[in-house]
Every structure is written in structure tokens, then in C-alpha cells.
């Protein structure tokens, strides 16, 4: 069965809205995805019928809310094939998930002279927390090399391995290039050398079928809003042994079992990492998003977006002076491109006037864009509701961009 | 106004053939202006005789709107006092905020009036202001140095 984009489109009410007098061509999915009725309705219904605080409420509605909230956690756990829902710590998103792990490492694991390893291809959210952890712990932050179109060399990583490396944090997929990295092999290299691994799954979770039992990492981080779920909720998956072993870095209600004037006893996992009232409706909405993607078929989602991105690269490359970046095939829907003598911000403004929403700039990945030797890129990122017709509209609009901005004689 | 009108002939001329593009020897002041959200970057240099700006140049990598606005700044600033330049910046702010300007004010803006269409693109106003906001910091330093 293949994904039917027209059927999918009918689930997304925002696609019927006009912007600048034109139907929305939404190609900024690597930043955030739109929401289907199934998710909007689940959140709305929850607030209408079942909302209360979770876990400690003595009343019936509190029990109903708790059941739905924990139901969302179970759905997310099933979606990534976690062993149990307790392995999912709810956070505000990937950034917070990485910050929690980096904070724990800085406080509880890293010693002066230890090494944190990451890559120049990362989103700032997988660089800056590690810079902070390095400063706090006296560890050094080191980077592997990028090759070709931004890929990693596994042999080189293994050969150059510093035995003091305590954690290797890397992205599963690039938000700029659309590259899907071989997470399993990378985790194997690290774990064979006694190093913990954190995989940033913000860009992969919406595309790549995930299996926490196969990938071999210690921590995996995801955001609901990039996979049709609500903003403001995400997850940190970790093996139970890690959640048991490490201490929480944030304190508050919910995360404790017992509190005296001087000390506190932590609650069970995952609650000991979830202080305060959680994003209750967020879990319900994320659960609905997971149901939605599961019903479409994870492999079908992956195949459809990959195929559409390949079509876009093929069509865009036919334009003179336009270069696409990243892999041609086996990729996510994020396609960065450059048009000679034309700045990405001007491209995105002109496309916007045609109702086409793309992103331009550094994409929160300044070291990567610098490595590419560009001041910025324009990025069209595709998802399940985009179509070949929309790609054709994009290509036509890019031709208009060239007509408006082309530099004569260059 | 269509998007093609935003990128007016005058704006695009400054973008394609930026005036005063390059580095100067012995500037009295220089500063890097960066827009961290989008990566626009202009490096402004100027000479100042204690009363007026005598020369201004720039280098950088930025979008058409930012390059054009910076080019106009560097072309217009020489021969003017810090107060006069600040007045011009205020008029540019008003133009981009779609405030009514008198004919006299429009005349004073000169080619900068060609940036008017940018007011239709709220997300891009910051591009047109980068050089002028960078200059604001530089002017303050010049004034402090003078005092």
C-alpha cells in the first residue's frame, strides 16, 4: 500500500487556508509539521471531556486524565519500540531532552580531561548543551570530520577514537542536508569502546521507522511537533538502567516520593525526571499523532517522503545556477539549495509571496553551513501532505526568483 | 504592491553594484554587524573628523535588502554629522513602519525611499536596518571617545 497524499491532505485543515491570497504550499516541515484533524480533535476533546491534573488527583476525572496521559506515553514507546513506557521521559522537546542528558553528564559522569564527541553537522541543540557541559566539567568537546556531502567516515571515527571519550552525541538525520546517518553502526563503534551514545532523533522520528532495541544507543531524543504532534512536548528515551542510575537535575513536585526539610527521595522512573505538572494534553495529542502515522504506515511515510524529495531534487536541479545539497536518495524530506548570486532570504520572501513557505538562513546549524562554505541556505522540506504538483509550483516560483533577482552578466 | 516592486530597480542596482564596497586603511572606527537569526553580516568602517563622517565603506555577506541598505548608508553618511545620520535613520525607521512622511522627509531620504516596499515584509525589516543599527552603536562609541 502506498500513501495517498490527497487523502492525507484532507486531514490537514490548514491546507485549505489562503496565505497572501494563495493556497498554502507548506515546505517548512523540518522546522515543524502541520497537524491533522485527528490530533487537533484529540487535544480539543481531551480538554472538553477529560482534563484534570494527573497521578495524584483523588477524583474520577483525574484518573481518566492520567489514563489518557499515560496512554500517550505508551503509544510513543510502542512507536519507537521501547521495552516499556517507563523508558520515555516527557520533556518539552529534543532540545530539553539533550540538555537534561548533557546536564547529567556534566554533574555525574564527566571528569576534567574526558572527551565529549559530536559532529559539525549537528543542530545547535546538540552542540551548545555540550559546550556548557564541557565548561562545567572540565571535559573537552571534540568533533568528528565531515566528508563529501556531509557524511561521516566510520573507519576514521574508529581509528581516531580517543579512549577518554565518555559520550558521543550525534544526529540520526540532518535538518539541513536530509542525510540519514548509520546510527546503529555509530552506536556500535562507541559502545564497543565503553562510550555512551546520545542520538538526536528530531529529524529522523518523523521519517525513519525506529527501533530502540536495534539502534544500540543509550539515549534517543525526539520532538512531537515535527511528527504531526503538538509543540511543547517531546521525549527522552533511555534504557531503564540509565534512568535508575543517574540523578535528576531538576526538582519539584511529582518527581519525589518523600520530602523532608533537608532531603528528598526520588519517585520511580520516569517520573523522577518529570518535575511539575506535565504537558498533559500534549501527551494525548502526541499519542494521536503516533496513531495517525502508524495508520498511514511507517514504511509508506518514509518511502513517500524520500520519493518526493528525490523528485524535488531532480526538478530543481534542472534550473540553471541552482545546486541542491545533501544526498540524492535515501534521505529525509529536507532539501537545502543555493542559487548563484541570489541570497536565500530574498528567495524565501519571493516564494512567500506565492504562498510557498520555505526556510532560509542557518537552520540552527551554523557550524554545518559554515562547513558548506555558504552564508546561508534556502531549505524546502517535504512531508506526507506535500505533492509533486507542489514541487512543480516551487520550481516555477524559483524561476520567477531568478527573473527578479538575476544578476546580469554574472 | 507585488513582490517584484519590493525588489525595486534602485534596490537591485545597489545590490548588484554595491557602492563603497571594500575595506579602508586606517579607519577611525569599525564594527561587525550580525543578524544572528538569519546570518546576515556586514562589516562597517568609517573615518570621522570629530564633527562629520568623512568616509564609510563596508564588506559582508547578506541579502539584497541588507546589501542595498548598507550601500546606501555608506554612500550617504560622508559629509554628515552623527546627529544628521541619526535623523536619517529615524526617517528610515518611519518608512519601514509605514508611518506618514512629509515630502521634505522623503526628499531627505533620497534613494533610501526605494526600501519602502520592505515595509510589506515584516520579517525582512531587520535586514534593512542592520547597517543603521550597527552604526548606532558605532556613533555612540565615537561620541563617548569624543567626550
pLDDT tens-digit readout, A329-371? 999 999 999 999 899 999 999 999 999 999 999 999 999 999 9
The reply to whether A405 falls in a domain is no
The reply to whether A407 falls in a domain is no
Does the pLDDT value for residue A56 go beyond 50? yes
Contact criterion met (CB < 8 Å) for A345 and B41: no
For A226, the domain range is 40-294
Summary mean pLDDT of chain A: 96
Answer yes or no: do A367 and A240 share one domain.
Answer: no
Contact criterion met (CB < 8 Å) for B3 and A350: yes
* CATH architecture observed for domain B3-146: Alpha-Beta Complex (3.90)
Q: How many domains does chain A have?
A: 2
Domain residue ranges in chain B: 3-146
How far is it, in rounded angstroms, from Cα B38 to Cα A60? 50
Residues 6+ apart with CB under 8 A from A224: A93, A230, A231, A233, A234, A235, A282, A285, A286, A289
Average pLDDT over residues B24-45: 91
Does the pLDDT value for residue A324 go beyond 80? yes
Share of chain A above pLDDT 90, in %: 94
Range name among A260-264, A324-328, A399-403, B92-96 with the lowest pLDDT average: A399-403
Q: Is B34 touching A (CB cutoff 8 A)?
A: no
Does the pLDDT value for residue B118 go beyond 80? yes
Whole-number pLDDT of residue B147: 38
The reply to whether A410 falls in a domain is no
Domain boundary among A266, A294, A322: A294
Whole-number pLDDT of residue A394: 98
- The CA radius of gyration of chain B, in Å to the nearest whole number, is 15
Residues 6+ apart with CB under 8 A from A148: none
CA A305 to each of CA A4, A14, A177, A308, A380: distance values in angstroms, whole numbers, following the listed order: 12, 20, 14, 5, 12
How far is it, in rounded angstroms, from Cα A89 to Cα A98? 12
Does the pLDDT value for residue B4 go beyond 90? no
How far is it, in rounded angstroms, from Cα A302 to Cα A308? 10
ipTM over 0.90: no
Does the pLDDT value for residue A410 go beyond 70? no
Q: Is A353 touching B (CB cutoff 8 A)?
A: yes
Global pTM reads 0.92
- Pick among B64, B121, B129, B130 to test the A interface (most A CBs inside 10 A): B64
Domain boundary among A244, A279, A294: A294
Per-residue pLDDT tens digits for B125-147 = 999 999 999 999 999 999 988 53
Amino acid at each position: 500500500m502506498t500513501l495517498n497524499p490527497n487523502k492525507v491532505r484532507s486531514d490537514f485543515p490548514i491546507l485549505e487556508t489562503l496565505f497572501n491570497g494563495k493556497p498554502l504550499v507548506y515546505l517548512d516541515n523540518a522546522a515543524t509539521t502541520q497537524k491533522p484533524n485527528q490530533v487537533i480533535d484529540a487535544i480539543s476533546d481531551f480538554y472538553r471531556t477529560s482534563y484534570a491534573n494527573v497521578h495524584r488527583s483523588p477524583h474520577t476525572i483525574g484518573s481518566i486524565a492520567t489514563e489518557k496521559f499515560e496512554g500517550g506515553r505508551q503509544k510513543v514507546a510502542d512507536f519507537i519500540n521501547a521495552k516499556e513506557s517507563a523508558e520515555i521521559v516527557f520533556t518539552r522537546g529534543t532540545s530539553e531532552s539533550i540538555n537534561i542528558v548533557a546536564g547529567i553528564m556534566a554533574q555525574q559522569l564527566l571528569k576534567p580531561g574526558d572527551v565529549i564527541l559530536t559532529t559539525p553537522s549537528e543542530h545547535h541543540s546538540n552542540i551548545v548543551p555540550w559546550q556548557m557541559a564541557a565548561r562545567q566539567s572540565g571535559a573537552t568537546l571534540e568533533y568528528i570530520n565531515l566528508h563529501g556531502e556531509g557524511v561521516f567516515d566510520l573507519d576514521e571515527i574508529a581509528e581516531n577514537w580517543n579512549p577518554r571519550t565518555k559520550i558521543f552525541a550525534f544526529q540520526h538525520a540532518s535538518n539541513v542536508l536530509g542525510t540519514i546517518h548509520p546510527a546503529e553502526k555509530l552506536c556500535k563503534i562507541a559502545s564497543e569502546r565503553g562510550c555512551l551514545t546520545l542520538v538526536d532523533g528530531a529529524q529522523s522520528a518523523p521519517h525513519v521507522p525506529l527501533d530502540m532495541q536495534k539502534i544500540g544507543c543509550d539515549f534517543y531524543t525526539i520532538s512531537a511537533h515535527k511528527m504531526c504532534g503538538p509543540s511543547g512536548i517531546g521525549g527522552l528515551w533511555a534504557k531503564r538502567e540509565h534512568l535508575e542510575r543517574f540523578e535528576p537535575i531538576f526538582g519539584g513536585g511529582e518527581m519525589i516520593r518523600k520530602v523532608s526539610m533537608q532531603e528528598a527521595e526520588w519517585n520511580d522512573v520516569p517520573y523522577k525526571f518529570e518535575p511539575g505538572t506535565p504537558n498533559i494534553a500534549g501527551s494525548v495529542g502526541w499519542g494521536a499523532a503516533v496513531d495517525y502515522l502508524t495508520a498511514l504506515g511507517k514504511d509508506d511515510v518514509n518511502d513517500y517522503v524520500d520519493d518526493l524529495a528525490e523528485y524535488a531534487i531532480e526538478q530543481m536541479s534542472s534550473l540553471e545556477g541552482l545546486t541542491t545539497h545533501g544526498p540524492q536518495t535515501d534521505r529525509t524530506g529536507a532539501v537545502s539549495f543555493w542559487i548563484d548570486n541570489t541570497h536565500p532570504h530574498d528567495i524565501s520572501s519571493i516564494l512567500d509571496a506565492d504562498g510557498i513557505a520555505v526556510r532560509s538562513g542557518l537552520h540552527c546549524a551554523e557550524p554545518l553551513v559554515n562547513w558548506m562554505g555558504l552564508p546561508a541556505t534556502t531549505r524546502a522540506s517535504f512531508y506526507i501532505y506535500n505533492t509533486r504538483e507542489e514541487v512543480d509550483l516551487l520550481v516555477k516560483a524559483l524561476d520567477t526568483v531568478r527573473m527578479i533577482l538575476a544578476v546580469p552578466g554574472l | 504592491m507585488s513582490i517584484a516592486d519590493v525588489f525595486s530597480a534602485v534596490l537591485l542596482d545597489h545590490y548588484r553594484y554595491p557602492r563603497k564596497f571594500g575595506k579602508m586603511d586606517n579607519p577611525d572606527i569599525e564594527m561587525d554587524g550580525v543578524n544572528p537569526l538569519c546570518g546576515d553580516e556586514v562589516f562597517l568602517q568609517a573615518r570621522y573628523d570629530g564633527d562629520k563622517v568623512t568616509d564609510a565603506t563596508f564588506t559582508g555577506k547578506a541579502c539584497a535588502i541588507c546589501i542595498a541598505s548598507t550601500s546606501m548608508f555608506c554612500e550617504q553618511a560622508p559629509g554628515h554629522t552623527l546627529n544628521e545620520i541619526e535623523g536619517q535613520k529615524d526617517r528610515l525607521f518611519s518608512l519601514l513602519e509605514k508611518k506618514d512622511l512629509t515630502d521634505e522627509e522623503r526628499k531627505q531620504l533620497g534613494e533610501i525611499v526605494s526600501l519602502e516596499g520592505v515595509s510589506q515584509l515584516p520579517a525582512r525589516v531587520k535586514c534593512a536596518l542592520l547597517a543603521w543599527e550597527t552604526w548606532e552603536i558605532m556613533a555612540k562609541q565615537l561620541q563617548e571617545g569624543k567626550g
